[in-house]
Structure formats: structure tokens, C-alpha cells
Amino acid sequence: MDRRKFFKAGTLAGVGAALLNPLQGFAHPIENEINYKNKKAKNIIVLVSDGMSSGTLNMANIYSERILGRTTNWIQAYKDNIISRGLMDMASASSIVTDSAAASSSWGSGERVKNGVINISVNGEQLLPIWQKFKKAGKKAGCVTTVPITHATPAGFTVSMKSRNDQSAIAEEYLNIGYDVLMGGGNKYFDAETRKDKKDMYAAFSQKDYNIAKSKSDLKKIDYSKPILGVFGEDSLPYAIDRKNSKELTNEYPTLAEMTQIAIDAMKSHKNGFVLQVESGKVDWAAHANDVAGLIHDQLQFDDAVKVALDFAKADGNTLVIITTDHGNANPGIIYGKYADEHFDSIQKYNQTNESLLNKIKSDTTEKDLIDFIHSNLGFTVTKEQADHLLDYYKGLYKDDDGLYNYKKLPFKSFAEIQKEYNSVGWISMDHSADYVEIAMFGPGQQNQKPFMKNTDLHYFMLAAAEVENKF
């Protein structure tokens, strides 16, 4: 299909009839559909729980209802029938199993690209990302994430790169393009001391009149009249559960919801509107580590950001909120058994991630000390055999190279297998899966969502919802 003829052909030929017949192609009846007939989206907020398998969404809601006494905002919106819902095929140009770069680029460019590249076509053509299109149309644009702001998902909305790994160059591209809000981790890609080329990107952003924030306290003093660069942490922000259980981390690092609110407040008064991408990137990292506490609590952190976006959209009336994920990862689930309920409920006793806990074990830790340490932090008692097996990794008898972000070669897989006996949560792998992913919408345009769409369709859906022609 000629993308330039997208509006003439009708936006929802693959996605629905956006401007011609707003009632065609409902996933199911929506109570507030009448409010959005023939109304364009002045603002668009795209929320991405990176690497969220359906089991992750499910487990976070079960945990929230059973332990916290409330339904998650995402599931409550389904129950209240206020948002449309469908599935999306996220395959890349090189595989039915996508990576985050190709997934985000499919939304960013409207084309499927190979895994590992950002908005570069299979023929090597540089494709114009959607946030640049919206910038050219006069809107403000921003990205917020819990992993480096230069990571694959925000980059897929914003830049074109031959390699997702060139994060130092991505930082420079952000400055050249002039995005309005950038918040996440990744100090090592901005600080002259840690960049290979020794460029001081903070100084460069300051020279272009950016407000620089490096802590939660800095954000409280931020000036909304200037563009914002917020970089928190050397690499990523802490996992939600680790921050929650540390006064120091709580005071130092903002939550995803706090960053989302600041991004909205900074751009909401712009006369031409804004576009914002919000990512809970460490849901994916926790799935790669088969880390159930990290996974559930970062998904709940994402859900808090969903509430911020939905609350704004409900009050504003001109904002399309899109809630989705870029791919599955590890496909976790609660396993049937006599003690499944109480085993799963025991996760409330976990006070840190597996990453945090495993990093504290040393080669000279004794069997008894390890058993006591795990019990005091996670609430269950491993056997002597299980303790000895874990300690063997620290004595160099085994190696565990599993988990994409397992730089210290921690025994993530073995520990998750041990935990399964006590929490009844199983995993199929430690990597991405070819799931059809959840996608939900609220606001102008939601009435045009089809029950099933291709990842590239979302690019044109957003342009159509905002009535921005694809002419750039």
C-alpha cells in the first residue's frame, strides 16, 4: 500500500474507516463512543509495558486484587467498558519473534524492519520516525522510560539508527532534533567521563536551553517553560520493589507515574498539542531474569502511569491514550496445584528483586547464612541441597549465562526454578516470544480500533486520529 495515499484510501482499510464511518469496526461497544465521533486527537499518549506477556498483565492484576485490595487501572478500564481492546501482530521483517528495536520501529516508521535496527528499512533506507512527523506538524514531543532514555523503545519513536546499540549517537540525535521532554536512565551516554568520545552532552543540552534534572529533587524545581532532559542513574532506574524498600532510592529516583505527570504538565498547554511515549522498560528486564517480584512490581508501576494518562485524558477530552506492549517475554504464569493460591500470595513477602538478592551472595557465604538470608528477605526456606546448588555458582563450579541483562552471570534461571516450588510461578524461557499483544485505546479514535491489527498499522492510526497528513 502507498502510505502517502493512506488518507485517501481510508485509514482503517487495515485499521478501520477512521474519518468516514466512526462506528465501523468496533472491537466491542464502548460506553463513551458518542463523545469521540468525528473528533480528532489533539494529544496522543502511548504507554508501553516492554516485554509484557499476557501472563504478566494477569499476574499483576491478581496480585493487586488479592494483596493490595484493588483492581489494576488497566483491567478496571476493561471492566468499566470505557476502552477499546484488540490484539496486534508484532513480527519484525527478519523474524516472527521481534526485538524491541524492530517492534518500536514498526510503530515509528510504519514499516517492518529487521531486528536490531531503528527505523532503517530492509533496503537500507532511513525512515522518518513518527514523533518527528508530529514535531513537523507543530506538536511537542517527548519520551519517558525506566531504562536508558536512549534505549530501543523510545528511540523507535524518535530517531533512525543502523544499530540500536549506538546509544551515545542516539543521545546526540535527540539534541539535534530538539525533543521537548526526555526522561529516563542512561547517564553513561551523556556524561563526558563515561562516553568514549568524551563529549559532554549535558553541557550541549544546557547550551540549547534545556533544563537538566539528575534527581527526584531536581524534578520538583523543573521549569516547564523550557525543554526537559531528566537522566536518573548510570544505566536504568531501580526496580520498583527495590526503590520502594529503600529510603535512599525512594528519595533519589522518581517513579514512572511521577515522570509521566511531569511530562504531561510540561507539554499540555502547547496550542498544537503534544505526543508522549511512556515505557516501563524493566518489565522486560525482569522477564529476561525470570524475576517475579521485579516483574510484578514494575508492571504495577506501569499501571500507576496508566492512571495518570487516563485521568488526564478523561479531564482533557482531546487525548488519545494507547496502552500496549511490544512483545511477550518468558510467558510467566501461575501453575495449577493444591497450594497455588497461598504460594502465589507469598510473593507479598518478597522485599527485593532476585537481582538485588543474588548480588549480595558471596563466594564465602555459608549454607546456613544463605538459607537464613533468603528466608528473611523472601519469606520461604530453601533446602540445604538448594542452598548448596546456588552456592556452587559463586564458587565457580557452574555458570549461568541466561538472561539478556545478566551482565554479572548471576544464577537467575536456577533461582527462579527453586522459587517455583514456593510461589507456583513458571516461565517458558528467558527471552522474547512471538505473542499477539494486547492493545487498548481511550479517547478520540478509539471507536475506530479493529479487534486485530498489524504493528505497522498503528503508525497510520495515530496520524489519522490526530488528522496529521503523512506528507513528510
Task: Indicate the annotated binding residues for Mg(2+).
Answer: 50, 151, 153, 279
Q: How far apart are CA 121 and CA 275, in angstroms?
A: 24
Residue numbering of the annotated binding site for Zn(2+): 50, 284, 288, 326-327, 432
Residue numbering of the annotated binding site: 50, 151, 153, 279, 284, 288, 326-327, 432
Distance from chain centroid for Cα 148: 11
In the block, residue with C-alpha cell 474507516: 17
Residues 6+ apart with CB under 8 A from 6: 460, 463, 464, 470
Catalytic residue numbers read: 100
Q: How far apart are CA 156 and CA 24, in angstroms?
A: 30
> What's at 143, amino acid-wise?
C
